[in-house]
Structure 1
């Protein structure tokens, strides 16, 4: 798929925009001044495949913790700051890689200029983040008193214009709402106005189950249009789940290789094995593997191998027996009770071959 062309920025070791791969972001939910807990969570996020991590900096204690946290992790960090420009200056001084800060919320132009001066000196990008639920009253009034995609774009551009007037262009933009359709339209409109990188997300999406569905629909629709340079799946829960979901969204669109892929057919009247049990056991096995292999669990020996011919390895169940196949070619016929063991042996062989 053809991606929208954006101006690249650099967040630590990660390039965002341009021809760079789409990055997955998340945010810690620890108290940032608890350095040990925050660093440990960042390490878990990185191990799960997170490219960039945002940390909350609500006070000076959190800002002062940035330096120590940076010493303990390797993934780039973004400081999330609201209203107080001194927190931004402190985070910059202590080595933060990027800021999430809306300059219009700082109030004093001189204070914004002070932040921009230091950010420019150290090549630290600033992400402008607009949420539908917290738009400026004056902006809302011009759009009928309710949040709209147009109001979100106008609000974002107000912040962008402040930075541009200060000759600052290392900018990334997000426009989030819990309403999926509104979010999609806001990003579509923004992509027609600027060539800055866009950070995608559905804010306040919900718990792991419902939030992943809403995020997959919204983020996936935009990515399919070629819009988006970074993503975050915002969930009420363990942020590691955000990272896994984000990577799965990218993988499903062919935008990233991320761990194994399980291909399994739905159950139907032709199924004569416990397909649900087999698929669950294979999924448990794949959770222990990081290689991007494709494994199929099919319920029909007649059509299974052909329907999953792109799989590296797979099984097709039949009555009392099943087939092991690679790339659609049958390599072995085994009793039903030996299907899993035979499949796992073949998976281990593939992993060893690739090592």
Structure 2
């Protein structure tokens, strides 16, 4: 089902029965949006993604109960499984026997056992992965970059800290004799995704890259933003595995696989276009793909409502972020002009890094419009909304 596209000669990394890099077909991934402890729902979605053509399916694990559920899910699916570790790196030992790949975020290693050096935590994860025949993904994300790296670069340079963090972790894994890993460096801005991956590939052409635009948003805009990045990178031979991250309801998660394979097919056939051909609005709405960490399923509906509400502002250079959980939401809304991150009962509204308060779901759209109108007026005095 994979598409043959000529790429850079990265080394081979095996994930279950799929191999990425070294000229192997580009693998397509997705992530479950169900609550992991709901074994029936998560198994059903895992198998639906697998049946749609997913080479790897990622599942989030945040607790021992999640890990116990994962063990049961493993028995019920033939999919290659990747686990998404967040703050608690110690969960690696509980999930590794049941998965084919472990993904950790360098920026999240600081949240648990803060007194320990991050290098010690990575050595632990590597040891567990080696013992359990698991690959590793070093997943660097624009909204949760290693704080020590952020302090080394100017505030307006978001690419250098991501690149530095990824390269530093690669060096550590290489020094430990563990080379069965790939790297991802994701941002909600396709141009930054292109630049950071291009620069990484120049310095570490041997390391397979997982490509994606984080918080790409809803279709069709989310697919278009992702296509822009993929066409530029894969067209240069960069990229060994991909994910199209879309804000869609649970019963439509398979659309990520369909979109990814469609983009690969178009690139292979030479059907590529310039950025101006896509006709995106100047207003930029970014929203995360729903996952098991979403505490209120109304998040997806809210993202759709935000897009509809803000159509009148489509010609204004404003970014609005809609995030589904408290794990990534606070940090990943910092760079937006207006940001919303969703809790179980309230939606937190931000203006840049400034917290504006938490509002019930049925009140947040009115408050968002007030702030958007004020922002438009401040940017373009005299323009009525």
Q: Report if TM-score (shorter chain) is over 0.5.
A: yes
Partner residue of 1:8? 12
2:209 to 190, 198, 217: 198
Partner residue of 1:57? 61
Partner residue of 2:305? none
Partner residue of 1:252? 266
1:40 aligns with 2:44: yes
Within 5 Å, give how 1:1-355 maps onto structure 2: 2-93=6-97, 95-102=98-105, 105-106=108-109, 108=116, 109-194=119-204, 195-237=206-248, 238-254=252-268
Q: CA deviation at 1:241?
A: 1.0
Partner residue of 2:341? none
Q: CA deviation at 1:147?
A: 4.1
Deviating more after overlay: 95-104 vs 230-239: 95-104
Partner residue of 1:307? none
Q: CA deviation at 1:251?
A: 0.8
Gap runs ≥5 in structure 2: 111-115, 271-385
Q: CA deviation at 1:2?
A: 3.4
Change (3 A) 1:112 1:148: closer
Render the CA deviation track for 1:38-87: whole Å, top value 9, x for unaligned. Answer: 01001111111111100001111111122211111111000000231221
CA distance in 2, matches of 1:164, 1:9: 14
The answer on whether the counterparts of 1:16 and 1:22 sit within 8 Å (CA) in structure 2 is yes
CA distance in 2, matches of 1:230, 1:128: 13
Render the CA deviation track for 1:140-191: whole Å, top value 9, x for unaligned. Answer: 2322113432222112122223323322211110011011111101000010
Change (3 A) 1:22 1:255: farther
Q: Secondary structure at the match of 1:253?
A: helix
Q: Using CA pairs below 8 Å that are at least 6 residues apart, which structure has the higher relative contact order?
A: 2
The two structures have a TM-score, normalised by structure 1, of 0.68
The answer on whether the counterparts of 2:107 and 2:147 sit within 8 Å (CA) in structure 1 is no
The answer on whether the counterparts of 2:92 and 2:128 sit within 8 Å (CA) in structure 1 is no
Q: CA deviation at 1:35?
A: 0.8
Deviating more after overlay: 72-81 vs 121-130: 121-130
Partner residue of 1:261? none
Q: Secondary structure at the match of 1:5?
A: coil
The two structures have a TM-score, normalised by structure 2, of 0.63
CA distance in 1, matches of 2:96, 2:33: 21
The answer on whether the counterparts of 1:132 and 1:147 sit within 8 Å (CA) in structure 2 is no
- Which structure has the larger Rg over C-alpha atoms? 1
Gap runs ≥5 in structure 1: 257-355
Q: Secondary structure at the match of 2:82?
A: strand
Q: Secondary structure at the match of 2:220?
A: helix
The answer on whether the counterparts of 1:8 and 1:17 sit within 8 Å (CA) in structure 2 is yes
Q: Secondary structure at the match of 2:265?
A: helix
The answer on whether the counterparts of 1:32 and 1:57 sit within 8 Å (CA) in structure 2 is yes
The answer on whether the counterparts of 2:17 and 2:80 sit within 8 Å (CA) in structure 1 is yes
CA distance in 2, matches of 1:172, 1:8: 10
